[in-house]
Amino acid sequence: MKRVYNFSAGPSMLPEPVLRRAAEEMLDYQGSGQSVMEMSHRSKIYEGIIQSAECLLREVMNIPENYKVLFLQGGASSQFAMVPLNLMNKSKKADFVLTGQWATKAYKEAARYGEANVVASSKDKTFSYIPKLDPASFTKDADYFHICMNNTIYGTLFHELPKTGSVPLVADISSCVLSQPIDVSKFGLLFAGAQKNMGPAGLTVVIIREDLIGHAMDITPTMFNYQTHADSDSMFNTPPCYAIYVCGLVLDWLKNTVGGLDEMEKINRKKAGMLYDFLDNSKLFHGTVVKEDRSLMNIPFVTGDEAMDKKFVAAATEHDFVNLKGHRSVGGMRASIYNAMPVEGVEKLVDFMRKFEKENA
Ligand X SMILES: Cc1ncc(COP(=O)(O)O)c(C=O)c1O
Active site residues: 102, 172, 196
Pair 302, 309: CB distance under 8 Å: yes
103: closest CA among 125, 85, 86, 119? 119
Q: Which of residues 153-192 bind ligand X (CB under 6 A)?
A: 172, 174-175
What is each CA distance from 142 to 86, 100, 194, 359, in whole angstroms? 14, 21, 28, 55
Position 102 contacts ligand X (CB under 6 A): yes
Position 295 contacts ligand X (CB under 6 A): no
Pair 285, 301: CB distance under 8 Å: yes
Burial grade of 70 (CB within 10 A; 0-12, 13-18, 19 or more): buried
What is each CA distance from 135 to 53, 93, 123, 141, in whole angstroms? 37, 16, 20, 13
Residue nearest to ligand X (CB): 75
Position 193 contacts ligand X (CB under 6 A): yes
Least distance (Å) from ligand X to the CB of residue 74?
A: 7
Pair 104, 97: CB distance under 8 Å: no
Least distance (Å) from ligand X to the CB of residue 73?
A: 10
Position 268 contacts ligand X (CB under 6 A): no
293 vs 356, beta carbon nearer ligand X: 293
Distance (Å, whole) CA 300 – CA 104: 20
Q: Among 128, 152, 268, 288, which residue sits at the site for ligand X (rule: CB under 6 A)?
A: 152
Least distance (Å) from ligand X to the CB of residue 257?
A: 25
Residues pairing with 98 in the sheet:
121
Least distance (Å) from ligand X to the CB of residue 150?
A: 6
Position 109 contacts ligand X (CB under 6 A): no
- Which range, of 52-60, 69-77, 215-223, 326-334, touches ligand X by CB under 6 A? 69-77
Judged by phi (left if over 0) then psi (alpha if -120 to 50, else beta), residue 214 lies in left
Position 76 contacts ligand X (CB under 6 A): yes
Least distance (Å) from ligand X to the CB of residue 275?
A: 19
150 vs 164, beta carbon nearer ligand X: 150
Residue 107's CB is within 10 A of a number of other CB atoms, namely 22
198 vs 353, beta carbon nearer ligand X: 198
88 vs 148, beta carbon nearer ligand X: 148
- Cis amide linkage into residue 11, ω under 30° from 0: yes
| Torsion from C-alpha of 104, 174, 171, 153, nearest 10 degrees | -40
195 vs 228, beta carbon nearer ligand X: 195
Site size toward ligand X (CB under 6 A) is: 11
Position 89 contacts ligand X (CB under 6 A): no
Backbone angles phi, psi at 341, to 5 degrees: -75, 120
- Which range, of 21-29, 47-55, 75-83, 289-297, touches ligand X by CB under 6 A? 75-83
- Which range, of 35-43, 72-80, 244-252, 312-320, touches ligand X by CB under 6 A? 72-80
Which residues bind to ligand X, rule: CB under 6 A? 10, 75-77, 102, 148, 152, 172, 174-175, 193
